[in-house]
Amino acid sequence: MNKLRRAEPSMFDVDMKDCSGRRSFWLSPSVPFHFQFFGGRPPRINRESVEELMLVASGPHGLDVIVRHNWPSVDPDIDVEGYLFAIAIGLDISGARPDALPEAFLREVLVAHPRGTLAEEFGACVVDQAERKPDTSARRLVDGGLVRKLAENPLERV
């Protein structure tokens, strides 16, 4: 927000979910933009995260999405949404911590949002990226057995 208040345009990059590359957004006071908040309480702002964003946004590469669910751990006292997302992604992709959420809840989610071919599609996408970029985390994931973990995910049997 400070960059917008100071009328300093900046670039914002996001990796595409389908592994097709990155999308860049030009943020400027002259470009309309929209914030949407959910729930009845005002959002809690984490000062450390804001300072980190300001530092990165002022750097030579601009602003990237901070993906907390990829951190080794997310403290729920600092970022409850990031914590829940980390649990959900870990379970959804690698089958980690299947007991972290009640089975009845998992069944309800899977009825509303079936996994379908997630394991095969996601695995193929990561394998493709690992082959194209052997020095990336995609290669480490493939070497660490991601494709097997996807196939053995407990959610495949709920």
Mean pLDDT by 10 residues, the chain (158 residues): 70 68 72 64 74 76 60 76 80 85 89 89 91 88 91 87
pLDDT at 35: 61
Instruction: Give the tens place of pLDDT for each residue, 4-19.
Output: 667 777 776 777 666 6
pLDDT at 124: 92
Nearest to 64 by CA among 14, 18, 124, 7: 14
Q: Which residue has the tokens 């070497």?
A: 143
pLDDT at 68: 58
Give yes or no for a contact between 78 and 91, defined as CB atoms under 8 angstroms apart.
no
Question: Would you kindly state where each structural domain of the chain is located, as residue ranges?
Answer: 2-64, 76-157
DSSP per-residue letters across 77-100: TT-HHHHHHHHHHIIIII---TTS
- SS3 at position 63: strand
